[in-house]
Structure 1
Amino acid sequence: MQEIDIIKAIANERRLQILDWLRNPQAHFPPQTDGDLVEDGVCAVLIAEKLGLSPPTLSEHMRVLSQAGLVRPKRIKQWIFYKRDEERISALKKLLQERL
């Protein structure tokens, strides 16, 4: 994905909010029945509920973040869990510092 596409991915307030919450999932989400908040990520259902979005709308936001490499999806049973890709986010921060 090109740099401009990554910037477009984070140019949305809801996607930035999701990334912020995923930075410290234990502070923003309740414990999950399946999957560990830190190790496995946060269930898409919990993210959708917290944002007040329908699952299809959240799915589109998460698709954009995933394609930009900012989050990693993980399937556990029938659920999708999302976790920040800290390595990719660090690289993006470095790139932005170099360019600006």
Structure 2
Amino acid sequence: MSIDIHEALKALDNPARLAILAKLKDPRKHYPEQEVDPEKVGVCVSIIQESAGLSQSTISQYLTVLQRAKLVTSQRIGPWTYYKRHEGNIEELLKSLQKLI
């Protein structure tokens, strides 16, 4: 298994991180102001930060935790970093949890 259930659950045990992951599920709805296609490229950190109303450093820390848990991926384009959900790993996590519960 490529995803660590304990790491993923720890990452999701924070309302703000969970909200970020939930909004990334439908990025066009939650981040309409972004110029590039958020479903292909991801959502820019600054747009996630603005939407969450938290500091840039806090959002960066939260996204790092989600990325370490393999729930999101990042892509750097020029000076900007874009994040999107790793749907395959999220599906794997859900299947693993179903087996346990």
The residue identity in structure 1 corresponding to 2:92 is A
Q: How far does the alpha carbon of each residue in 1:9-57 deviate from its partner, in whole angstroms, 9 at most, with x for none?
A: 0111111101111000000112423x32110000000000111111110
Aligned runs of 1:4-83 on 2, under 5 Å? 4-33=6-35, 35-83=36-84
Alignment partner of 1:32: what SS? coil
| Identity, % of aligned positions | 40
| Structure with higher RCO (Cα < 8 A, 6+ apart) | 2
Q: CA RMSD in A?
A: 1.1
Q: How far apart, in 1, do the equivalents of 2:9 and 2:62 lie?
A: 14
Query: TM-score, with normalisation over the residues of structure 1?
Result: 0.94
Aligned to 2:86: 85
Structure 1, gaps ≥5 residues long: none
The Cα shift of 1:60 comes to: 0.3
Contact 1:31 1:37 in 2 (8 A): no
**Structure 1 position 99, deviation (Å):** 0.7
SS of residue in 2 equivalent to 1:81: strand
What is the aligned residue count? 99
The corresponding residue for 1:94 is 95
